[in-house]
Amino acid sequence: MTDDVLVVHGGTPLEGRIRVRGAKNLVSKAMVAALLGDSPSRLFDVPRIRDVEVVRGLLGLHGVKVTDGAEDGELVFDPANVESASTDQINVHAGSSRIPILFCGPLLHRLGHAFIPDLGGCHIGPRPIDFHLQALREFGATVDKTPEGLHLSAPNGLHGTKFALPYPSVGATEQVLLTAVMAEGVTELRNAAVEPEIIDLICILQKMGAIIKVHTDRVIEIQGVPKLHGYTHRPIPDRIEAASWAAAALATRGHVEVLGAQQADMMTFLNIFRSVGGEYEVTDARPPKLGDPGQEGGIRFWHPGGELNAVALETGVHPGFMTDWQQPLVVALTQARGLSIVHETVYEQRLGYTEALNTMGANIQVYRDCLGGTPCRFGRRNFKHSAVIAGPSKLHAADLVIPDLRAGFSHLIAALAAEGTSRVYGVDLINRGYEDFEAKLADLGAHTERP
Ligand code: EPU
């Protein structure tokens, strides 16, 4: 047990309005992209989260001057003096985030070599990096795996290549993009991930001078250019955080308006939310005009009263139901009448957190079979990756230990929905991806305290 604990007095519906800023899974990559420019970049709406601090630290070690801009949440990156950092300095960040792996291409372009520390991130399966390393080798990089981390070099430069991903991995697609934009010649990537965060990264790279065509059928073609300049960009908002608060509204029978949430990027979530019985209303943004202060866009989510419905859902790559939406929503599904089915097809070990929900009174069974959907990669590999949730169950308070970021938020929602006082240990992990979550909880009327 750690000292880092939040006491949650549950049973009160969350009510009020919060705001989400730039998507964690875009902002951190946009920061890495700034390394590729030969002039400063400017990024807005950057949330104050741990992943951003890790990337900021790594950029600083490599000579990129990172300063706060005039606007709240604005960061300015000056890559004029990119330089090597010592492995000891870099290793300070070992185990803290998955993002360092994306420094490979940009550092190889800028310095001819790169050192990548042992990676971190959430423990939701083995999380291999074989696609990344295979792609980098195709570009001409040599990769030396040592106990302290990865040493890469590109003695003959990096050259465009044809590469097909075995699975549309988000990170590996970003690796290829960040490497191909300045590699000599043309790169063709097949079976690419096309999540909105990837399209936004492509927008950033295009602003920097890159030539990238997104074809149909997950094919991306990149024409390498010898130099790129800085960008100015306002990122897409965090659709994982938005859905997490929406699920919290549903599970606590509350009403939460998420300013910044965007309908187009959340379509699949919104359909499931409505099928479960939640209500939502989209407010379009209106710019201020003379005599009209304008309005910020967002989505209002609420529990309309009465019973929720069981649903069957399967997580998948975009435009499917995001794997990161699954854990928060499952808490709401414990309150739905009947049997809900969740088939997790992106990560093989992302249902372990359901045990904690069961100790709170939920009735969730996990199975190795591919339930209620298309057979997936994990069906024959002995992973418990399908869940059946029988509801409704009355949740009661418990002592919980947070295992990873998204499961952690689901524990928090469960504690908020349960009657009584829960102690949630390891809550600082939530700061990796949810900006000011304790202040937001207070704004929504939650009763929490640090002992
Ligand atoms: N995979 C491989 N080999 C690789 C890369 C991936 O087998 O070299 C497998 C993974 O093991 C997994 C699947 O491919 O089974 C998908 O992984 P992907 O590479 O798409 O995930 P990622 O880039 O590591 C990002 C997000 C995750 C999010 C996934 C899926 C970031 C920093 N992380 O991870 O977000 O769940 O895409 O959308 O962008 C989170 O925010 O909490 C989080 C885990």
Nearest CA to ligand 1 atom 15: 347
Q: Select which of 122, 203, 370, 376 is catalytic.
A: 122
Q: What percentage of the chain reaches a pLDDT higher than 70? A: 98
Mean per-residue pLDDT over the chain, rounded:
95
- The pLDDT value recorded for residue 380 is 76
Mean pLDDT of 315-321: 97
| 279 CA distance to ligand 1 middle (Å) | 30
Question: Is 98 annotated as ligand-binding?
Answer: yes
Mean pLDDT of 60-87: 96
> Domain residues of the chain, as ranges?
5-20+238-449, 24-233
The CA distance from 205 to 367, in Å, is 42
Nearest CA to ligand 1 atom 25: 170
State the pLDDT confidence band at 311, using cuts at 50, 70 and 90: very high
Tell me the DSSP string of 8-48: EEE----EEEEE--B-HHHHHHHHHHGGGBSS-EEE-S---
Farthest CA pair distance, the chain = 66
Question: Is 92 annotated as ligand-binding?
Answer: no
Lowest mean pLDDT across 89-98, 134-143, 160-169, 322-331? 89-98
Q: What share of the chain is helix, strand, coil (3-state, %, to 5)?
A: 30, 25, 40
- The pLDDT value recorded for residue 121 is 59
pLDDT at 2 over 70: no
- The pLDDT value recorded for residue 122 is 60
Q: Does the Cβ of 346 fall within 6 Å of ligand 1?
A: yes
The CA distance from 302 to 10, in Å, is 18
- The pLDDT value recorded for residue 120 is 63
Does residue 122 carry a catalytic annotation?
A: yes
Mean pLDDT of 291-314: 95
- The pLDDT value recorded for residue 123 is 62
**Does the 5-20+238-449 domain belong in CATH 3.65.10.10?**
yes
Give the pLDDT confidence of 235-291 residue by residue, as tens digits: 999 999 999 999 999 999 999 999 999 999 999 999 999 999 999 999 998 888 989
Q: Does the Cβ of 323 fall within 6 Å of ligand 1?
A: yes
Total count of residues recorded for the chain = 451
- Residues with Cβ within 8 Å of residue 413, at least 6 apart in sequence: 244, 247, 248, 251, 252, 328, 331, 332
Give the pLDDT confidence of 17-43 residue by residue, as tens digits: 999 999 999 999 999 999 999 999 999
195 CA closest ligand 1 atom index: 38
Give the pLDDT confidence of 340-387 residue by residue, as tens digits: 999 999 999 899 999 999 999 999 999 999 997 788 989 878 899 999
| 251 CA distance to ligand 1 middle (Å) | 27
167 CA closest ligand 1 atom index: 14
Residue listed under structure tokens 């499917």 = 320
Out of 101, 123, 170, 322, mutate this one to test ligand 1's pocket (max ligand atoms within 8 Å of CB): namely 170
Question: Is 324 annotated as ligand-binding?
Answer: yes
Looking at domain 24-233, its CATH class is alpha beta
Angle (nearest 5°) at CA 57 between 135 and 104: 10
Q: Does the Cβ of 244 fall within 6 Å of ligand 1?
A: no
Question: Is 346 annotated as ligand-binding?
Answer: yes
**Identical fold, 5-20+238-449 and 24-233:** yes
The CA distance from 381 to 388, in Å, is 19
